[in-house]
Amino acid sequence: MGMTMTQKILAAHAGLDEVKAGQLIEADLDLVLGNDITSPVAIHEVEKMTKQTVFDKDKIALVPDHFVPNKDIKSAEHCACVRKFAKKNDITNYFEVGEMGIEHALLPEKGLTVAGDVIIGADSHTCTYGALGAFSTGVGSTDMAAGMITGKAWFKVPSAIKFNLTGKLSPWVSGKDLILHIIGMIGVDGALYKSMEFTGDGLSSLTMDDRFTIANMAIEAGGKNGIFPVDDLTREYMKEHSTKLPKEYVADPDAEYDEVYDIDLSQIKSTVAFPHLPENTHVVGTFDDIAIDQVVIGSCTNGRIDDLRCAAKILEGRHVAKGIRVIIIPATQSIYMQAIEEGLIQTFIKAGAVVSTPTCGPCLGGYMGILAQGEKCVSTTNRNFVGRMGHVESEIYLASPAVAAASAVTGKISQPSDLGL
């Protein structure tokens, strides 16, 4: 029996000719990632080890992004811990304030992730890099600690689900709508510990930012990872951003999949996930009006330049509804600068939004947009669990940048067609 993309990558990094689903392996790592919340835990574990020097200072990335710039003394102490560890070990890829961005947007931008890599990160959305044809997955801080010291990690080889995409997305419909549709279809545990592999002619119509968004939310369906085959668009992105040598893997024709789903992209519509699970999806326009209090556009899921351009097109010449708070967060300094150069930031401010420095901020209930009791928020983030963005009696509606921007203008959950677009 043949192997999937993920299985081929894991086999190569384990020094094996082949692997099978369920097999336990030890694989070499190309990158180990941590942030300001998870890294201190890992660092304290390292301090308990006999060997305390990192396996390769160039293959560790430390990105303070969750509570950065520091929101309080505790977050400042966490960052100080990471800063000292990075300095002690001469970590090449440590990104301080002014250089940092939201980790899962920053690392591909910096060229640290390429096709064929095996990457672990002490953050569940590390699966983002599957958009480039890499195997990447979230782990606990203890595994991060072991990875930083040994350069290896244990894995159970996942089985896989194939999503065969055909057709092309309609205007104002994006990768966010597609992944919400998929999660709504299979459920938050529908891909539990499985590789979500995306194939088909429809891939050619998806931008890199679409693919990053889709891979990012594989974990919201329970997936071990999400992964895309490498095509010309992927190669162009990697050539622009990285000097690392990628290695392309292709699934065997006789690779085994637990399920195969055929999805016509032209049938995907603007989709929103209602509280309190990403699987609680509804097509915009099929439910009664839901008044909102806040809109957040950003995060590792939807803070990239295509996302900001989309929101700006809708907000251009319009103003957010009275009483609505709109917070826009570019995912990296580079994206922020590009948005300034393209005039997007001016558009946002004229429309009545505020723009933040890159940070995870409100996504995890950190800061820059915490919700009070009873408040409702349309957010381009990836989770809408109880209390995720503030009070346990607040509500988060996950949506695309297009839906978020349109909702900001109307003051209720809307789509661009509601504005005549």
pLDDT over 90, % of the chain: 98
The pLDDT score that the predictor gives to residue 161 is 98
- Model pLDDT for residues 248-307, shown as the tens digit of each residue: 999 999 999 999 999 999 999 999 999 999 999 999 999 999 999 999 999 999 999 999
Q: Which structure tokens are listed for 229? A: 């085959």
Give the pLDDT score at 172: 97
DSSP strand pairing (159-166 vs 259-264): parallel
What percent of the chain has pLDDT above 70?
100
Provide the token pair at 379: 């957010």
Residue 282 and residue 166 in one domain:
no
Do the domain assignments include residue 149? yes
pLDDT tens for each residue of 82-103: 999 999 999 999 999 998 899 9
pLDDT digits (tens, 9 = 90+) for 105-120: 999 999 999 999 999 9
- If asked whether residues 243 and 259 sit together in one domain, one would say yes
In a domain, 2, yes or no: no
pLDDT band at residue 415 using 50, 70 and 90 as cut-offs? very high
Residue numbers of the domain that contains 237: 9-264
Q: Is 63 a member of any domain?
A: yes
The residue out of 218, 245, 264 marking a domain boundary is 264
For residue 179, being part of any structural domain is answered with yes
Domain total of the chain: 2
CATH code at position 201 = 3.30.499.10
- Find, among 120, 244, 170, the residue nearest to 417 by Cα: 170
Candidates 67, 107, 167; CA nearest to 304 is: 107
- What six digits make up the tokens of 49? 């080890």
**96 and 184 assigned to the same domain:** yes
Q: Are 197 and 224 in contact (CB under 8 A)?
A: no
Classify the C-alpha dihedral 93-99-104-107 as positive or negative.
negative
So what's the pLDDT on residue 25? 98
Cα–Cα distance, 267 to 263 (Å, whole number):
8
Residues 291 and 208 in one domain: no
Backbone phi, then psi, for 133, in 5-degree steps?
A: 85, 25
Cβ(39)–Cβ(144) below 8 Å: yes
Which DSSP string do the residues of 267-312 spell out, in sequence order? G---EEEPTT-TT-EEETTSS---B-SEEEE-HHHH-SHHHHHHHH
Q: 15 lies in a domain?
A: yes
Residues 177 and 43 in one domain: yes
Residues 240 and 347 in one domain: no
Please check whether residues 280 and 239 belong to one and the same domain.
Answer: no
Q: Based on the domain organization, do 139 and 94 belong to the same domain?
A: yes
User: CA-CA distance, 37 to 317, in Å (whole number)?
Assistant: 39
CA proximity to 108, closest of 401, 334, 390: 334
Query: Which domain-ending residue is among 241, 264, 287?
Result: 264
Which neighbouring-strand residues pair with 63? 35
Question: Do residues 34 and 138 lie in contact, with contact meaning Cβ atoms separated by under 8 Å?
Answer: no
pLDDT averaged over the chain? 96
24 residue type, one letter: L
pLDDT, average across residues 325-352: 97
pLDDT score for 355: 97
- Under the banding of pLDDT at 50, 70 and 90, the label for residue 203 is very high
Task: Map tokens 């006789």 to a residue.
Answer: 254
